[in-house]
């Protein structure tokens, strides 16, 4: 079958042929419909990240996936041919307490693998086989946005982690607790999905980037009742606003540090972006930063990956987004491109685009 293949750490990507998967006992065979492309994929193509499965030099790319079950092997329960599914990404080390509890996103050994990223083939191929515990069924009515489930799972976990910190404050009666004030730094898929989730929960949401009001992200934010601010001239554009929760989705250490002054008392800064390890050093006013951290009861939380629980929560929230905001969630996907366009799509994120998806198989309905 055809697949999009990389050879980490060597830069480059090719559309090649790999063996067809077979659904063995207890496994499910899935035909891939489409995969979303993100910065991690581009880093792997550039040779900055990624690891092929043991004993091989090639890795099938792709982790943001959507597919349809073709066949179910003997003993595999819970799925039928025709089911629409999304597969999780991380596979646990099998030894630490969290991986043995199906919470590999908290792996303590670092010996996990991740499909399409590190040590295990991904989903930018015609089909794949996996066991039911790593597959999440998606209702047909969510088909048009279902490929967003993997990045949404990351958001679900990150917001839960931040919410646990904010839970210290407890509700107040006099005056009554006000809506959460949230700032989202970055309007890629993670940032936009965070905006959808926070707005659906009733939060007062501001999202920042370095683009004007004419982008699709700015338009979508207004449509769901969030505020967009262009901070090309710096965070001073936010004025005197302070926020209870800041969700960082840009992957810039300079930005991360710059966000501290707009974090309010008792607030939490949640980091989801991953700065490049070879970036230039950043001067940090450490004493002032830590002083404010202590005196203002603030917290800094990093959040990566997500286990099945957050994928399932994401399915429920996609339905909520559809109910609350209509077709707006579909427009987080800026374009769908054929797999043959992979080089152009992987070269860089298109200006003003939120999420680009590579189509692999036909968007057929249930078999």
Share of the chain above pLDDT 70, in %: 98
| Same domain? 133 vs 164 | no
Whole-prediction pTM: 0.94
In a domain, 311, yes or no: no
In a domain, 39, yes or no: yes
% the chain with pLDDT above 90: 86
CATH code of the domain covering residue 198: 3.40.50.720
3-state secondary structure the chain: CEEEEEECCEEEEEEEECCCCCCCCCCEEEEEEEEEECHHHHHHHCCCCCECCCCCCCEECCCEEEEEEEEECCCCCCCCCCCEEEECCEECCCCCCCHHHCCHHHCCCCCCEEECCEEECCCCECEEEECHHHEEECCHHHHHHHHHHHHHHHHHHHHHHHHHHHHHHCCCCCCCCCCCEEEEECCCHHHHHHHHHHHHCCCEEEEEECCCCCCHHHHHHHHCCCEEEECCCCHHHHCCCCEEEEEECCCCHHHHHHCHHHEEEEEEEEECCCCCCCCCCCCCCHHHHHHHHHHCCCEEEECCCCCHHHHHHHHHHHHHHHHHHHHHHHHHEEEEEEHHHHHHHHHCCCCCCCEEEEECCCCCCCC
Same domain for 163 and 23, yes or no, is no
**pLDDT the model gives residue 61:** 98
Asked whether residue 354 is assigned to any structural domain, the reply reads no
Q: Answer yes or no: do 176 and 77 share one domain.
A: no
Give pLDDT tens digits for 261-295: 999 999 999 999 988 888 878 888 889 899 999 99
Residue 193 and residue 161 in one domain: yes
> Residue 363 has what pLDDT?
61
Task: Dump pLDDT digits (tens) for 196-210.
Answer: 999 999 999 999 999
Rounded to the nearest integer, the mean pLDDT of the chain is 94
Write out the residue range of the structural domain in which residue 71 sits: 2-137
Q: Are residues 103 and 170 in the same domain?
A: no
Count of domains for the chain: 2
Is 318 inside any structural domain? no
Q: What is the pLDDT of residues 208-252, one digit of tens each?
A: 999 999 999 999 999 999 999 999 999 999 999 999 999 999 888
Pair 113, 172 in one domain: no
- 161 with 130, same domain: the answer is no
Does residue 92 sit in the same domain as residue 202? Answer: no
Q: What is the pLDDT of residues 81-103, one digit of tens each?
A: 999 999 999 999 999 999 999 99
**CATH assignment at residue 117:** 3.90.180.10
Task: Note whether residue 331 is domain-resident.
Answer: no
Considering 302, 319, 335, which residue would you say is the last residue of a domain?
302
Please report whether residue 205 resides in a domain.
yes
- Shared domain check, 228 and 116: no
């Amino acid at each position: 079958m055809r697949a999009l293949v990389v050879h980490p750490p060597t830069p480059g990507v090719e559309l090649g042929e790999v063996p067809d998967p077979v659904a063995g006992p207890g496994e499910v065979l899935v035909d891939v419909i489409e995969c979303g492309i993100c910065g991690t994929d581009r880093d792997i193509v550039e040779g900055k990240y990624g690891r092929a499965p043991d004993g091989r030099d090639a890795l099938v790319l792709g982790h943001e996936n959507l597919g349809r079950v073709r066949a179910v092997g003997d003993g595999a329960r819970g799925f039928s041919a025709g089911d629409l599914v999304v597969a999780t990404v991380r596979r646990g080390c099998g030894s630490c307490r969290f991986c043995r509890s199906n919470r590999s996103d908290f792996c303590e050994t670092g010996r996990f693998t991740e499909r399409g990223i590190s040590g295990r083939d991904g989903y930018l191929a015609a089909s794949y086989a996996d066991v039911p515990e790593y597959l999440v069924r998606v209702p047909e009515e969510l088909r048009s946005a279902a490929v967003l489930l993997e990045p949404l799972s990351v958001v679900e976990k990150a917001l839960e982690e931040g919410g646990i910190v904010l839970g210290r404050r407890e509700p107040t009666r006099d005056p009554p607790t006000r809506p959460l004030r949230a700032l989202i730094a970055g309007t890629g898929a993670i940032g936009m999905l965070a905006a959808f989730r926070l707005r659906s929960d009733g939060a007062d949401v501001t999202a920042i980037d370095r683009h004007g009001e004419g982008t699709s992200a700015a338009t979508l934010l207004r449509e769901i009742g969030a505020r967009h601010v262009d901070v090309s001239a710096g965070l001073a554009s936010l004025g005197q606003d302070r926020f209870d929760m800041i969700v960082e989705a840009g992957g810039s250490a300079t930005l991360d540090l710059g966000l501290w002054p707009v974090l309010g008392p008792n607030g939490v800064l949640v980091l989801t972006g991953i700065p490049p390890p070879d970036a230039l050093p950043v001067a940090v006013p450490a004493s002032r930063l830590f002083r404010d951290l202590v005196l203002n009861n603030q917290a800094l939380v990093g959040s990566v990956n997500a286990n099945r629980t957050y994928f399932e929560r994401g399915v429920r929230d996609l339905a909520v987004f559809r109910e609350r905001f209509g077709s707006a969630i579909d427009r987080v996907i800026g374009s769908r491109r054929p797999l043959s366009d992979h080089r152009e799509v992987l070269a860089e994120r298109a200006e003003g685009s939120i999420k680009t998806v590579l189509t692999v198989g036909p968007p057929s309905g249930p078999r």
